[in-house]
Amino acid sequence: MLKSKTHTKLIIRLVIVFVIVSEIDAVTIDEVLLEIPEAAMVELLESKEVFRLDKQSEGYKLLPNVPMTQELVKRTNEIQPNVLTEGLYIIPYSESINGIDVEIYNIARKVSSLSEVSYLSARKKAVIPLFNNVYAISDLEKKIPIDDPLVDSIPVSDSLLLHMKEVNLGRAYYQIDYIWDGQSLGFFMKNLSNLRSVLKVVGKKQMQITLLILPTDEGFLVHGSSAIKLSNSNLVFSLMEPYTSFYRRTYAIVTWIYNTMHNTNRIPDFGEPLKM
């Protein structure tokens, strides 16, 4: 009799889990973007992408209504950025990927393939590699290159360290934190070294590039953002337009994920930011 009751409880728990998962899978774009500006929603549904440059320091305006955004906001507040960009993108499911699974998770863990990320250079007017010499490392002390740390199942949270040379900001070390909460995947990348051009542009741990990936009825909804606290900000602003410059990097990574999923070669060329 006790065994029968235990069996019944197990079945009930499995049914509850099934219902919860079904509800997560059934989330709609309208539900998770209920609070974003109407103009942003219209543009997203028409163009499958929309972005804004936070030049008025208003903070995030395009956040989906999911718990993972609390982690994003917390990490952003720790930086206190003076440059913030964000965008929303709809990436259609592919033949092999139609939800959160280990295949899409491992796309972001195959860090050596970040060398494939390219961007549209405004100065050179050409598509050029954004990163090269990208590889995972054992630790920050010995910095021994290791193979891409792919996994067989998705952990709740994990981190890895990597070496990467960026076309304009030079060679540096980075950390990527991976978080899976059962609904959204979060990829949080921060710099562990100073980033320099002709001068120091960003200090250690003062740049965060984040992707939040959520399965919806329209495909993957991706929120991509960059939050940066510039060093020598007055001089940097006089030498470059940092909002567009850092957004270009985030957009290049989103385009790379699209190309990897669909085996395409889309050019990371974007239009005008949302006017609000």
Considering only residues 276 and 117, tell me which one the structure prediction assigns the higher pLDDT. 117
Collapsed DSSP state (helix, strand, coil) of residue 199: coil
**Poorest-confidence range of 20-29, 65-74, 221-230, 257-266?**
20-29
Q: How confident is the model at residue 25 (pLDDT cuts 50, 70, 90)?
A: low
Residue 13 structure tokens: 């728990």
Whether the predicted pLDDT of 9 surpasses 70: no
Strand bridging mode 195-196 / 200-216: antiparallel
pLDDT in tens, 141-177: 999 999 999 999 999 999 999 999 998 899 999 999 9
* Per-domain boundaries in the chain: 29-262
At 104, the pLDDT band (50, 70, 90 cuts) reads very high
- Tell me, what amino acid is at 205? K
The encoded tokens of residue 113 equal: 């393939």
pTM, two decimal places: 0.89
In this prediction, residues 240-261 reach a mean pLDDT of 93
Helix (H) or strand (E) holding 252: helix 242-262
pLDDT given for residue 20 in this prediction: 38
CATH code at 29-262: 3.30.530.20
What integer pLDDT is reported at residue 199 of this predicted model? 87
- pLDDT for position 275: 86
Spatial distance between the Cα atoms of 138 and 237, rounded to a whole number of angstroms: 36
pLDDT tens-digit series, residues 176-214: 999 999 999 999 999 999 999 888 999 999 999 999 999
Give the separation between CA 70 and CA 75, rounded to whole angstroms.
Answer: 9
pLDDT, position 127:
86
